[in-house]
Amino acid sequence: ELTSKLKLYNQNIGKNKALLQQTSLAIKAMVVRLGFHRDLGLDSILTRPYTEEEITRIDNFAEELSNEKITGQLYTLGVPYEPARINSSVLEMCTDPVAYSLFTLDKVRKKATEALLKHRSEFNSRYLYPAKALVQSLINSSAEVSDAFVCKVGHLSPDDIKRAHKIYEDLTAPSDMMKMMMGMGSMGKKGKGGKGMPMGMGMPKGMGKMPPGMGKGMPKGKPMHAKQGGMPPMGHPGKMPTGMGKKPENMGGHPTTKGKTMPQMGKTMGGKAMQGMPKKGMAGMAAMMKDKKKSYSKEEKDFAFAVRELERTLKNIAKYKQYLLISPQNELESIINAMNGGYTAPSPGGDPIVNPNTLPTGRNLFGINAESTPSEAAWEKGKQLAQNTIDLYKQRHNGALPHKVSYTLWSGEFIETEGATIAQVLYMLGVEPIRDSFGRVSDLRLIPSKELGRKRIDVVVQTSGQLRDLAASRLFLINKAVEMAANAKDDVFENEVSIGVKTAERHLTEKGVSPKEARKMASQRIFGGMNGNYGTGIQAMVMSGDRWEKREDIANTYINNMGTFYGSEKDWEQYNKYAFEAALTRTDVVVQPRQSNTWGALSLDHVYEFMGGLNLAVRQVTGKDPDAYLSDYRNRHNVRMQEVKEAIGVESRTTILNPVYIKEKMKGGASAAGGFAEIVENTYGWNVMKPKAIDKELWDDIYRVYVQDKYKLGTKTFFEQKNP
């Protein structure tokens, strides 16, 4: 009923004003009855119609609810997936890539505009639903997808495909310096096995063959690089990766190059190190170095990547089914093979819906080269999301811009998005990365004020322990960016970073810190757990009502536990009682990354721990409740910012209050029952940290669904039998 009213409203925009107002009031009555207005922060006065902008938000919210990706029954190691689960997973993996590829191609052809993404119902009817039907038909078909079929779906010619391939290959080719290094490696080959290759580039013994367990079902031909499908793998904020217990001695590069500049290194390579190299080889290398990547327009790049994405997705549907089929057995065989000292092939990790390259599972997850972050793709996403944050804040605050934005850095998001949240931080400050010939980000450029087109916005960053250990050099980079932005000259607009440093210095001196120390600490913006800890240390406190009287007790504990500075090698792990507090002054927005469909603000306790904890800390310091946004990376084709209250509304309605979801989870055992309890605990956690995010009605709904068994699912019996 709501969908039909929304459709009627959209059809009459700019036409019949009386009908438009009448329809808006009808929509409002339904929205208030359903409680959507609470999730979206809209009014409930039934005599006042919603505006066109508000109706669009409601329309998009309804579309999100109907198309949200939710998890099913918990996976058991070694137990094959049911065919229906495999098919539904492949459908979710492939629908978005097909839909957004076709949308991009239409944009290139001037048949669609970016504005369509703001109207989800129209986008879904034109692209998402047809894509879903197409993918479903291919899942049910045994026929192989041909080039001709791809051309038909994408309205492309064979020449278009060839052109897209050429552009894609040019854009993804190794850098000139990398070509040179590869050339040096190939010149040292002497027969089989790569013997005689310089610099230890030969293949380790025993790695020539794939172990028996990993050979089955593995893709043939090109390896599954990250560029083949999207993003690298996922970590977890609460766990420590193997071998990352110590901070690297030299965060800036190879130990042998310490203290040398790139020109010095180039001189060395051109001198004795290059002697004895065949002239023919040197000439070839010189030619490689002279080769320059051809430049392409944005439209050409978009065209090439859209064609490759469409082609890759359509042709891999059958493979994805096979990979999901063999994954459970692969995992068991890989464990046995590893115990026998065998080689385990590498792969990215994370959510397969977001990154299909994670399949098949049962392989050895790899991370990321922190020095190359933020990647070029991450930089573009970061700029977009930073601007989205500004736009969202302006909409909620009568056109005003935020003074300061706080960010949480997690290792999982960092690896999977290649540093997109770090890119957000840099762009907020008005600073951009500079890449060397190896693609590493080792320096920064201050974006001129006129080019930036707005004031520089201050930031404060909290890092998880795992991110701190994985990417210390990126924290140093952010610290450098803060100093550059604070000292920027000739800005056309107000400089919030400079103002923020002065405010922090004043705050510190008022707390009794000496002027000298206050000046030194005033620009510190990167904080984390004291004594190298990996958590905030507040979860048990939050859940124990007898351990705190007022919320400020939790806030003060949080500020104390997360008040260690991690922004420079010199002051690494330094602590001052008031430094973090000073850095939080003037904060208007709290931002948290979300990159996986497997968890949300309610289902993962670390979200209320980090994001909620920071929210409470900001409230304690500034006296006001900050805006709280999620950086939603789950759809790599359409990254966006979402208010946390809205995200909680979507998650609660599609999971813990959804009878379909509940039935699916009830097929599990004690872990599934415990999962329901954890979500309720996390809901309470949010109620403590950000009361506005949790309505009384949500608690009433949870009571009706689980205690009164509103849907007659047998919840009482389930809990008694599975997890009393």
Give the sign of the dihedral formed by CA 42, CA 43, CA 47, CA 53: negative
390 with 357, same domain: the answer is no
- pLDDT tens-digit profile of 665-702? 999 999 999 999 999 999 999 999 999 999 999 999 99
* CB distance 93 to 679 below 8 Å: no
With a cut of 60, say whether residue 223 has pLDDT above it.
no
Q: Check residue 180 and give its pLDDT.
A: 57
697 in the same domain as 600:
no
pLDDT digit string (tens) for 244-268? 333 333 333 333 333 333 333 333 3
User: Which pLDDT score, from 0 to 100, does residue 293 have?
Assistant: 65
Give the pLDDT confidence score for residue 175 in this predicted structure: 62
What per-residue confidence (pLDDT) applies to 220?
Answer: 39
679 neighbors 605 (Cβ within 8 angstroms) = no
Q: Are residues 145 and 40 in the same domain?
A: no
Confidence grade of residue 74 (pLDDT, cut at 50, 70, 90): confident
Residues 433, 375: Cα–Cα separation, whole Å:
9
464 and 414 belong to one structural domain? yes
* One-letter identity of residue 131: A
> Is the peptide bond between 356 and the residue preceding it cis, with omega within 30 degrees of 0?
no
The reply to whether 676 and 527 lie within a common domain is no
513 and 399 co-located in one domain: yes
Report the 10 Å Cβ neighbour count for 583: 33
- Residue 434 pairs in a beta bridge with 443
Same domain, 139 and 37: no
Instruction: Show the tokens assigned to 313.
Output: 């997705």
285 located within any domain:
no
Q: Tell me the C-alpha distance between 501 and 482, whole Å.
A: 10
For residue 80 the two structure tokens come to 């094959």
User: pLDDT per residue over 4-59, tens digit each?
Assistant: 999 999 988 888 889 999 999 999 999 999 999 999 999 999 999 999 999 999 99
Tell me what the mean pLDDT of segment 325-349 comes to.
95
Task: Give the integer Cα–Cα distance in Å for 8 and 26.
Answer: 11
CA-to-CA dists, residue 359 to 28, 129, 165, 231, 413, angstroms: 44, 25, 24, 13, 19
Q: Would you state the pLDDT for residue 315?
A: 97
To the nearest 10°, the Cα dihedral for 685, 412, 661, 721? -70
Q: Compute the distance between CA of residue 194 and CA of residue 189 in angstroms, rounded to an integer.
A: 5
- Does residue 354 lie within any of the structural domains? yes
Q: Output the DSSP codes for 118-137.
A: G-HHHHIIIIIHHHHHHHHH
- In a shared domain, residues 19 and 101: no
Tell me if 609 is assigned to some domain.
yes
Query: Mean pLDDT, to the nearest integer, of 528-542?
Result: 93
In a domain, 554, yes or no: yes
220: in domain:
no
For the residues 192-210, what does the mean pLDDT come to? 37
Q: So what's the pLDDT on residue 652?
A: 98
Amino acid at 443: D
Q: In 3-state terms, what secondary structure has residue 213?
A: helix
pLDDT, averaged across the chain: 87
Distance spanning both ends of the chain, measured CA to CA: 41
User: To the nearest whole percent, how much of the chain has pLDDT over 90?
Assistant: 78
- Bridge pairing between strands 627-632 and 640-643: antiparallel
pTM (two decimals): 0.83
Q: What is the model's pLDDT at position 202?
A: 35
Could you tell me the residue range of the domain that residue 694 belongs to? 659-722
Quick one: 309 and 353 in the same domain? yes
Confidence of residue 72 (pLDDT cuts 50, 70, 90): confident
Residues 483 and 541 in one domain: yes
Residues 6+ apart with CB under 8 A from 587: 403, 404, 405, 406, 460, 618, 621, 622, 626
- Number of domains present in the structure of the chain: 4
CA distances from residue 114 to 111, 128, 297 in whole angstroms, order as listed: 11, 15, 17
Q: Cα(614)–Cα(288) distance, rounded to whole angstroms?
A: 50
Task: Give whole-number Cα distances, 574 to 430, 476, 563, 690, in Å.
Answer: 27, 14, 9, 29
Q: How far apart are CA 580 and CA 560, in angstroms?
A: 8
The pLDDT tens digits of the residues spanning 86-100 come to 999 999 999 999 999
- Burial pattern 389-419, b for ≥16 Cβ within 10 A else e, equals bbebbeeeeeeebbbbbbbbbbbbbbbbbbb
Considering 644, 672, 702, which residue would you say is the last residue of a domain?
A: 644
Encoding tokens for residue 695?
């309505």
Is the separation of the CB atoms in 405 and 588 below 8 Å?
yes
Q: How far is CA 531 from CA 229, 409, 580, in A?
A: 39, 18, 15
What is the C-alpha to C-alpha distance for residues 583 and 405, in angstroms, rounded to an integer?
11
Contact 217, 229 (CB under 8 A): no
Beta strands in 26-79 (DSSP E): none
Residue 680 shares a structural domain with residue 703: yes
Reading the block at residue 585, the tokens are 């002054």
Q: How confident is the model at residue 204 (pLDDT cuts 50, 70, 90)?
A: very low
CB 241 within 8 A of CB 467: no
- Whether residue 276 has pLDDT greater than 60: no
Give a yes or no: residue 275 inside a domain.
no
Residues 351 and 387 both lie in one domain:
no
**197 in a structural domain:** no
Residue 196 lies in a domain: no
